Structure 1
């Protein structure tokens, strides 16, 4: 009997897979801890300009296959290129579809327990030196003890504190939403006509689904308070072709939704802010009442704490349809051994959405007080003649109102090669080598619908000091994330206890995409090992139930001033360093539960 398969996307994060006999309603609420992306250094003289868009999170560099949610693949350490797992062969190796006969469907559930914690420790020598210098100048003989009247200026809420993620966040067509748990349900269907050498299939799965949220008063929110990246494949017409008993090939075309969201409170305790608040300026340029003396057009009398949170960047952007494809082949020269190759194409995203950047009223006034003077228009005319426009009052006031944004980035291509050996009738061993081109994700282009004051200043610094290599323009910025390609491996073994019951063990080495020579404290997860166990049971009706558990833990340490993005101290190599000079430690762990039910219909 023929079967028409439809995949309908409805508002409210609901996916429906429908055919003539079944209608399966799949709630796509799904999330996981996300690690943070970094950015390239930006400028040398105006430290607070970079923070605008420096840290949405990477994330994905470490989520290869984890969010697809196939219990068999997890139980075998994702070493399934030569032993593809049912309908999810669409992702792992489409040639595996040829092993599915008749009409089949599967429903799979995923649930994760995730923890991301930071220890935000004490200051190192550099940062403590800045504090001691200021104290000694204004309070001689203080011996590093902050007097009560100076506590507000030196107060750092993140000093010797802890930060933890509260829960998962996902980006969906309606925007970012916080969800109570990291989990969800997905599914797919396949059909092979009687006597045919071809199998057709479609699947709903998440090549990437990562995001998290922190409390509004969490001291780690300057890494990111909320954020999410999504790539959700809602329709994947695929075909597997059995060329011979020894050789099979497969191809899948993926229709996906892509989205990203970010909410980032920003601060930057850079050397210039410390100098701006130095008492020397008050003594030489200010009256006792805090008004400027002699130079009313250059107001250096504001007392700006270096730990002030001066703005809150918010971006949400998405794309309803992005296209990609998967290709794979299987070769079995002997019945007991199979070789597999698989390729997942890159995914080019071109997202549209909205942005806001409300500025702290006090910090905004600091900027406006200088722009309202008679000297600023002269500076504007001079730099404008050189093709380097300075912002005015209008641009500074407008940047807090937001507007439209376009975000462009490429998710990397992925290739894998594997072998599956049936050692004995009961024992099977799989081994995979994989490669992901994360370096292409190092360029993220963000374009705004108008010039932004902070970017106008940043563009001047970039062009004068770095010949524009950081890609900063008055209305856009190109982030160079400095990720590297990764090659890694996994292996798994399966023991067929009897005709109905099988046990699985998996091990996967998952290296970091962040180069060791350029550490990035915004990405809390680095090198780690995924351990997994699984079980499979086949019922009398030839329907099967797979269940697996996976565990991974990753710890990182960033000594004071070691990570330019996070706690860097070099004033001539400014990246976003909200925790300048602090000792930072991170730990990420997760426990992943996956269940899959496959049946004929």
Structure 2
């Protein structure tokens, strides 16, 4: 019983924390450069124009004179989620979960007599977090996410130095759903973005074969979320049993003996239910300046072969923002009931419980977050005079997200209870273990020069998930993914190029009942985040990206 008040706040913060790595795994390099998408992001040895600032700043030495680069990237996120009931589904003997049960609300049975075959919990529209306004904005059903970027470079005549800067978005993603969507228990509105608004860069051509470069990225980082909360846990099933089977005949009688034995639980005006909505949470955290740097090397010993290497530094941040948790009536009544009886008051004082749970709990929150470092190397090779192949291998240190720690500007009543259960909790801080992995990934791209003006590109990049199997979730439904790209490049004249590209990322996942501690774990120890406990979960994510790039030399 003492675990109940912990969950709304702790689970809310876990949702906010896990959204960042999940989105980053999904959206890495999807909104930086469209030509790179068509080459499976295998461009370290052949970086694309001014976007070399991100992929390999040494490649800026290829740009002569004064050049500008403008592109528009449009992305559509199609995220489908499906819930289903396995054989023997129940939470402490109760199976009348309204998410999956067809029975009427006035059905007196605790067991569902007719389950829904499949329950759709699809994302309904994209969402974005608007900087400075600090608000999530829904774009409406069918509207895509737009990420315009641009940059400029300058190589003085006869100089071996090239200078550049660009504004681009390493990560922009978000989604939302209407009230009542079954998927709202893992994010009704979610938005995360990292926008590099200034990136002063320099590249130096050591000789005809070797170039080096460096760039500094000044970025804005934001995480925002609104989510419903529920906790189908065995302990809450016990509380429902007590309320419906033991307390029901004595409701309103204020029986002294019963109050003493059950610590005042029967005085609650509304009982606990493992399938009920426990509240709603909103949280937003931002950092206006998050610096990082990139170092690059490019070696081209022959016209047919080249090698590239880039190191992208970690960016250590301290995100700050606000949270609001609106607690439902039942957990507040549970605390009030305990404090209405002498035995309940004694138990609360013995365990250092707070005197009650407020209807609304709000304040300031901060989180130390490290945007992970990344290393990538690749080659380009002309297997035919008109056909070039690029192959890259990269590693990202997602293990930096092994644990998230939230710190508050005040003591939180929920954490006063939680600290009795975990060494990761104090009165004003909370550590959340995520257990992320640091996988290696690779990509391949082909570029065919049909004429001196026209080029065709195709790329493929399989992405290994950084999320362990026992941590998979529907907040951003991704396990392993595949990225496909197609593109056309056309040179109007010696100073002007245009590229048209399309990319497609897909990821399907199957999370059998009771297999993930961040989605559907069963039992009495699924304390933090399992809104679909005991249910099968399937996801199907599709991201379609269209882009147009215009480059010219002045």
Q: Same fold (TM over 0.5)?
A: yes
Of the three residues 397, 402, 424, the one matched with 2:384 is 424
After superposing the two structures, state which structure 1 stretch, 77-86 or 507-516, moved more.
Answer: 507-516
Q: For 1:82-111, what per-residue CA distance to the aligned partner results, in whole angstroms no more than 9, with x for missing partners?
A: 000110000000000000010001111011
Q: For 1:205-228, what per-residue CA distance to the aligned partner results, in whole angstroms no more than 9, with x for missing partners?
A: 111112211111111100111111
Note the C-alpha offset of 1:162: 0.7
Q: For 1:386-421, what per-residue CA distance to the aligned partner results, in whole angstroms no more than 9, with x for missing partners?
A: xxx42223xx22x71411111221111011000001
Distance 1:373 1:451, change over 3 A: farther
What SS does structure 1 have at the residue aligned with 2:416?
helix
Contact 1:47 1:272 in 2 (8 A): no
After superposing the two structures, state which structure 1 stretch, 182-191 or 145-154, moved more.
Answer: 145-154
Q: For 1:165-199, what per-residue CA distance to the aligned partner results, in whole angstroms no more than 9, with x for missing partners?
A: 12222222322222242113110101111111010
Gaps of 5+ in 1: 1-42, 135-143, 384-388, 463-467
Of the three residues 518, 533, 550, the one matched with 1:580 is 533
The root-mean-square deviation of aligned C-alpha atoms, in Å, is 2.7
Contact 2:376 2:392 in 1 (8 A): yes
Of the three residues 261, 264, 272, the one matched with 1:299 is 264
Task: Give distance in 2, aligned partners of 1:291 and 1:102.
Answer: 87
What SS does structure 2 have at the residue aligned with 1:367?
helix
Equivalent residue for 2:501? 548
Equivalent residue for 1:367? 335
Equivalent residue for 2:23? 59
Task: Give distance in 2, aligned partners of 1:525 and 1:101.
Answer: 41
Q: For 1:351-386, what per-residue CA distance to the aligned partner results, in whole angstroms no more than 9, with x for missing partners?
A: 111111111134322222223443455345434xxx
Gaps of 5+ in 2: none
Task: Give distance in 2, aligned partners of 1:586 and 1:90.
Answer: 35
1:392 aligns to 2:355 (yes or no) = yes
1:235 aligns to 2:206 (yes or no) = no
Of the three residues 289, 307, 315, the one matched with 2:251 is 289
Of the three residues 529, 553, 562, the one matched with 2:482 is 529
Q: TM-score, normalised by structure 2?
A: 0.90
Distance 1:282 1:170, change over 3 A: closer
Task: Give distance in 2, aligned partners of 1:234 and 1:391.
Answer: 45
Equivalent residue for 1:173? 132
Note the C-alpha offset of 1:575: 3.8
Contact 1:155 1:307 in 2 (8 A): no
Contact 1:127 1:580 in 2 (8 A): no
After superposing the two structures, state which structure 1 stretch, 319-328 or 362-371, moved more.
Answer: 362-371
1:272 aligns to 2:231 (yes or no) = no
Distance 1:275 1:488, change over 3 A: same
Equivalent residue for 1:182? 145
Distance 1:291 1:329, change over 3 A: farther
1:435 aligns to 2:435 (yes or no) = no
Task: Give distance in 1, aligned partners of 2:419 and 2:117.
Answer: 32
1:349 aligns to 2:312 (yes or no) = no
What SS does structure 2 have at the residue aligned with 1:112?
strand
How many pairs does the alignment contain? 533
Of the three residues 78, 90, 97, the one matched with 1:115 is 78
Distance 1:574 1:147, change over 3 A: closer
Equivalent residue for 1:330? 298
Task: Give distance in 2, aligned partners of 1:155 and 1:401.
Answer: 38
Note the C-alpha offset of 1:155: 11
Task: Give distance in 1, aligned partners of 2:499 and 2:541.
Answer: 27
Task: Give distance in 2, aligned partners of 1:411 and 1:379.
Answer: 44
Equivalent residue for 2:420? 460
